[in-house]
Structure 1
């Protein structure tokens, strides 16, 4: 055969790749490769040391006797494949959980054979999903889960609660609600904050909750020092767990709010061009610590405090984790059984809570089991409001002033007049010095009140803003007290 009749190496590679792999692009423009009949997809541009599509393609070419090719040929072939894939249909990729057809959701077990759990209100099954229904994206943070046990009769839930040190039954209900929420790909869940005295097993309980979803390789991490590193860690996994927090800086607090409810990060792709890389993220977040100091109101609405107590009997780490690993298939099976039962149950959606989807999930759990999860969630938010008020002298001063107002009467002043009024109330007759961070202008006061608005409303003080011909004003109203017989009928 003459040289002219031989196919160039790049054409041989391209023909093989298109015969054995499916190529598609995501909404962000990233091109992925998916082996025929297999749900795991890998970005073709990945240069990772393990599991990259480049390596997958090289191994396939060698094992099938096609040949061994140099890097130039592979690059030219992949460049052509990427260009061709940009005109194909768009399909999203998912980490750990994904929506499916007919109202089902999927849980990736992280197995090489692609077996996953299909969760539907009628039941759950272990199946290999259709590659066009689910495309799994895996990273080094994607651990392997054991095959969940069937017919557990709820024993796994009892095993989990026996291994942890949650202080109350209400706390246990909220922990279970969070785990069920983690199995939903599109519903934001508040971040559990595991707290308690030293030696209460906060880190151990946090690891257990994480490993039910992420496998035995899942672990807690120290909070990164900058936003970019935290976003990178969040985008590469499903559950992000930060251990031993002692302080929440304003920037970290704001970023946690974005992680819980979802946001997008954009950065430049290369220094040599003007293209950008988009990274969307909304992930379950878990925190542990004894005390993080002052909690900002917007983060407080997205937290789920879970208090632990010191165990009466200590056990070795080796004994504890050996028992947990052996029980994990049963725990996971029981959690899936409970999830199916909850999703098949209808319940009213509470309309007065910010995390309405999670509140609805709590209501479904109560309707399915009678646990009392929604009242426990309301109580936890009430405790967090107390924490916010205790750490904010301005909030305390506003509540002190509101106590002097007639219920239902609107009081309007400009922001500067309110600043003068509240400053005088705080200083008192003894003219005590103002604390650090006290508002210095009407604009700063107005901004602080906007952050405190939900917290103050939970204590019966309504803040609103408006404008007249004379200028802008801030309105404060003390809500009338609700009679006890009406409180019992409130949602």
Structure 2
């Protein structure tokens, strides 16, 4: 055949690709490739070297006898495919958990055959999802889950609780509520903070909870040193588990708040001047540690303390994880059964808690099982408020001031006047030095009080601000319904 009558290699590749793959774009403009009939989607511009669509396409061309092509032809074909895909409809890709049709939820088992769990209002099934309904995105953090067992009669939950060293029944029901929340893609869940004495198995317990969702390859990792690396790690998986936290910087605390409730990160795209890359993220977060020091009030509202105790009988790692791997199909099956049962319950949503979706889930769990998880959640938040107050001398000083105020009465001053008042109250007659971090200006005091507002409100101290023709003011009062507050010791 004359040279000019040969079909260009890029056209051969393009025709083969369009016949064997479905191409679409997401809302941020990323183009994905999805093999016909298979739910897993891969970005065609993947920067990774393992499992990329380029490799997938090359292997398919070779195995089907089409040929072996050079990099130039592949690049030209993928450029054309990407341009054509940008005109297609937008579809979302999901990691591990995804919403489906008719109120269903899908759980990716991470299997090569694409089989997943479909949780629907009447039960759950194992099937390969329709690619138009669910597109899975997988990374190196996506582990494989076993096929869940059926007809477990709740035995899997009992097995899990025996393997973990939870200190109380209240802690156990909160852990179960968190696991159910992890299977719901639209519900923000607080971050469990596994605490306890040294040797209580906090890291082991964290791994067990994580691997129910992420598979046996799921593991804990050290907290990244900067927010950008933390966001990258969060975006690559579903459950992010950080181990052995001993200190929490303000930046890390703010980043964790964003991870739990959702945020968006925008940065410049690589090798461009004008384009930007958008990363939306909201993920279940799990933390372990003995003590992280001072907890900021906004993070405290997003934490779920789970206390563990030292086991009476020690077991080897090999024996423990062998038993866990054997029990995991039954644990997952029992969790799915309970999830269906909980979702079928209709209850009122508690309106007084920051994480209202999780509070609603706790109320559903209580109605379905009688556990009492909502009361346990309230008690846990109350304990966290105590931790915040114990670590903040300004909060203690405000409570000391409020102890001398009649319930139902309010005092109004400028932020600078309040700063002088609290400083005199703290230093006292001994004129002791001010601690590090004490507010230095009225503006700093105002900002600190805004952060402490929910914590102090839980103790019956209300803080409000406003403006008159004379200027801005801060108003502090005691709630009439609040019980008398015991004076805080400074």
1:385-408 per-residue CA deviation (whole Å, 9 max, x = no partner) reads 000000000000000000111100
Question: SS where residue 87 of structure 1 aligns?
Answer: coil
Per the TM alignment, residue 2 of structure 1 is displaced from its structure 2 partner at its CA by: 2.2
Unaligned runs of 5+ in 1: 485-491
Distance 1:423 1:163, change over 3 A: same
Q: Give the deviation of 1:49 after TM superposition.
A: 2.1
* Distance in 1 separating the partners of 2:234 and 2:169: 30
Tell whether the 8 Å contact from 1:47 to 1:54 is kept in structure 2 after alignment: no
Contact in 1 for aligned 2:267/2:276 (Cα 8 Å):
yes
CA distance in 2: counterparts of 1:287 and 1:23, whole angstroms: 38
Question: Is the alpha carbon distance of 1:47 and 1:396 closer, same or farther for their aligned partners in structure 2, counting shifts above 3 Å?
Answer: closer
For residues 449 and 273 of structure 1, the distance between their equivalents in structure 2, rounded to whole angstroms, comes to 41
CA distance in 2, matches of 1:82, 1:49: 19
Aligned positions of 1:86-97 closer than 5 A:
86-97=86-97
- State how far apart, in whole Å, the 2-side matches of 1:403 and 1:120 are: 52
Which residues in structure 2 correspond to 1:380-399 (within 5 Å)?
380-399=380-399
Question: Aligned partners of 2:402 and 2:99: how far apart in 1?
Answer: 48
Q: Match of 1:124?
A: 124
Structure 1 residue 46: Cα displacement? 1.1
Instruction: Quote the residue 2:72 is aligned against.
Output: 72
2:19 is aligned to: 19
Secondary structure (helix, strand or coil) at the match of 1:112 reads coil
Match of 2:488 in 1: none
Q: Distance in 1 between matches of 2:483 and 2:195?
A: 35
CA contact (8 A) 2:260 2:283 kept: yes
State the distance in 2 between where 1:155 and 1:221 align. Answer: 30
Report if aligned partners of 1:92, 1:135 keep a CA contact under 8 Å in 2. yes
Matched, 1:42 2:42: yes
Match of 1:229 in 2: 229
C-alpha distance in 2, partners of 1:272/1:405?
60
Q: How does 1:158-173 map to 2 (within 5 A)?
A: 158-173=158-173
2:487 is matched with none
Distance 2:281 2:343 in 1: 24
SS of the aligned residue for 1:165 comes to coil
Structure-1 residue corresponding to 2:457: 457
Shift of 1:482: 5.2
Structure 2 partner of 1:114: 114
Alignment of 1:362-377 (within 5 A): 362-377=362-377
Residue 273 (structure 1) aligned with residue 273 (structure 2): yes
How far residue 273 of structure 1 moved from its aligned partner, in angstroms, is 2.9
Work out the number of aligned pairs and report it.
Answer: 484
What is the distance in 1 between the residues matched to 2:84 and 2:370?
Answer: 55
Computed over aligned residues only, the root mean square deviation of the Cα atoms, in angstroms, reads: 1.0
Counterpart Cα distance in 1 of 2:471 and 2:219 = 55
The answer on whether the counterparts of 2:460 and 2:482 sit within 8 Å (CA) in structure 1 is: no
1:117/1:125 contact within 8 Å kept: yes
Cα distance in 1 for partners of 2:438, 2:49 equals 52
1:82 corresponding residue in structure 2: 82
CA distance in 1, matches of 2:313, 2:75: 60
C-alpha displacement of 1:274: 1.8
- Equivalences for 1:19-418 in 2 at 5 Å? 19-418=19-418
Contact in 2 for aligned 1:399/1:461 (Cα 8 Å): yes
d(CA) in 2 for partners of 1:47, 1:204: 33
Deviation for aligned residue 1:236: 0.3
**Cα distance in 1 for residues equivalent to 2:272 and 2:329:** 49
What pairs with 1:445-484 in structure 2 (closer than 5 Å)?
Answer: 445-481=445-481
TM-score normalized by structure 2?
Answer: 0.98
Q: Encode CA deviations 1:7-39: one digit per residue, 9 max, x unaligned.
A: 100000000000110000000100000000100
Q: How far apart, in 2, do the equivalents of 1:392 and 1:175 lie?
A: 28
Q: Give SS of 1:129's match.
A: coil
**Contiguous gaps of at least 5 residues in structure 2:** 485-490
Measured in 2, the distance between the counterparts of 1:273 and 1:441 equals 40
| CA displacement 1:120-142 (0-9 Å, x = unmatched) | 12100001000000000000000
Q: Distance in 2 between matches of 1:94 and 1:244?
A: 29
SS of the equivalent of 2:42 reads strand
Kept in 2: contact 1:427–1:434 (CA 8 A): yes
Q: CA 1:128/1:475 → structure 2, altered by over 3 Å: closer, same or farther?
A: same
Q: Which residue of 2 aligns with 1:487?
A: none
Check the 8 A contact 1:365/1:371 in 2, yes or no.
Answer: yes
Counterpart Cα distance in 2 of 1:476 and 1:195? 34
**Cα-to-partner distance string for 1:446-478 (whole Å, 9 max, x where unaligned):** 000000000000000000001111111000110
**1:156 and 1:327 in contact (8 A); partners too:** yes
Q: In the alignment, is the contact (CA less than 8 A) between 1:385 and 1:455 conserved in 2?
A: yes
Q: CA deviation at 1:267?
A: 1.4
- State the distance in 2 between where 1:426 and 1:231 align: 40
Q: Secondary structure at 1:72's aligned position in 2?
A: helix
Deviations 1:170-191 (A, max 9, x none): 0000000000000011111000
How far did 1:377 drift? 0.2
